[in-house]
Amino acid sequence: MHAELIAQRVPGTELAAVYDVVGDAAAVVAEKFGARSADSPAAVIEADDVDAVAICSSTDTHIDLLVEVAAARKPAFVEKPLSLDLTEVDRGIAAASEAQIPVQVGFNRRFDAAHRGVRDRVAAGDVGDVHLVRISSRDPGPPPISYIEVSGGIFCDMTIHDFDMARFVTGSEAVEVYATGAVRVDPAIGAAGDLDTAAVVVTHASGAITIIDNSRRAVYGYDQRLEAFGSAGMACSENPPAATARYWDFAGAHGTPLPHFFLERYTPSYLAEWEAFAATVAGAPSPVSLADGRAPLVMGLAAWKSVREGRPVAVSEIG
């Protein structure tokens, strides 16, 4: 999807070269979108016709690749999470800072029109001082256990988006995280040491309180709602229906299902994300900085510590 958006739908960008650990995958994508297939990351990063690099590989390779891109002094896009290891994250930040390259982290929900609309209302003062933020974020179904095992767990893989939204909407850093959760969807998730159902309370420096609930399986579809409540009003983003057809019978109105997963719901946000990156490459400030990539990871680690220790955890305890 990323390749298609870059090659065909983002104005002014072209897909030059593709590398994938599965060589055939790169070749297929390259062929389809008129790019060449590279046989190593370096063959992409160092190529003269590559102006910027998108790092969409597995999480544990992000920082090594970012350091390589920094060495080549090219702008970088990096998928979330940056890493599951804060020391690694800080190594990447140091490299990017020294090389003075612009970096954008892949928190695509910032580019969703509805969520952004909430942030814009807050930024415009329409909500007043933010007192409460309420986020429900529920997937239609869990990923494979093999993915779960290397994902960093629900708080670093799934809630991390909500932590990003909490900072984005309030404009305020987290100071404390309380988290709890359960295994309700699939015992295999519990056997892998993870949770599939969670509730999190975040206290922000501004005094705002964010409450988040997560589930790995909402049978009715991809449920993504966000609400900012404050002294002057409330702004919220509601789930878009897959289609606006309704049916009425004796039992009332019946709507259509939600879009089933992130591809349907968030494709426009991915497109906007790449357009923003094109602007970043052209010199605009990054809309999602490495600091914006680091903070939600700290919150995710604090959430795990909170669950393990059964108490609220200060973000300052993590780093």
Packing angle of the helix pair 62-71, 86-99 (nearest 10 deg): 10
Binding of residue 241 to its own copies (CB under 8 A): yes
CB 104 within 8 A of CB 277: yes
The conformation of residue 152, written as its DSSP 8-state character, comes to T
Q: How many residues bind its own copies (CB under 8 A)?
A: 68
CB 59 within 8 A of CB 81: yes
- Out of 199, 205, 282, 291, which residue is the one contacting its own copies (CB under 8 A)? 199
Q: Which amino acid is at 217?
A: R
Stretch that binds its own copies, among 40-48, 89-97, 233-241, 278-286 (CB under 8 A): 233-241
Binding of residue 283 to its own copies (CB under 8 A): no
- Out of 234, 275, 289, 317, which residue is the one contacting its own copies (CB under 8 A)? 234
Contact string (CB under 8 A) for its own copies, positions 85-124, x = contact: ----------------------------xxxxxx--x---
Calpha distance 63→69 (Å, rounded): 10
- Out of 184, 188, 275, 289, which residue is the one contacting its own copies (CB under 8 A)? 184
Binding of residue 129 to its own copies (CB under 8 A): yes
Assign 305 to helix, strand or coil: helix
Stretch that binds its own copies, among 21-29, 254-262, 271-279, 290-298 (CB under 8 A): 254-262
Calpha distance 78→55 (Å, rounded): 5
Calpha distance 147→224 (Å, rounded): 22
Looking at the Cβ atoms of 215 and 280, the one nearer to its own copies is: 215
Stretch that binds its own copies, among 53-61, 75-83, 247-255, 278-286 (CB under 8 A): 247-255
CB 237 within 8 A of CB 114: yes
> At closest approach, how far in Å is the CB of 135 from its own copies?
10
Stretch that binds its own copies, among 13-21, 49-57, 68-76, 244-252 (CB under 8 A): 244-252
**Maximum distance among all Cα pairs of the chain, rounded to whole angstroms:** 67
As beta bridge partners, residue 240 has none
Strands 103-105 and 252-254: unpaired
CB 267 within 8 A of CB 1: yes
- Out of 85, 223, 275, 317, which residue is the one contacting its own copies (CB under 8 A)? 223
Calpha distance 54→33 (Å, rounded): 16
- Out of 24, 144, 193, 311, which residue is the one contacting its own copies (CB under 8 A)? 311
**Binding stretches for its own copies (CB under 8 A):** 8, 113-118, 121, 126, 129, 131-132, 134, 136, 138, 178, 180-182, 184-185, 197, 199, 201, 203, 207, 209, 211, 213, 215, 217-221, 223, 229, 231-258, 310-312
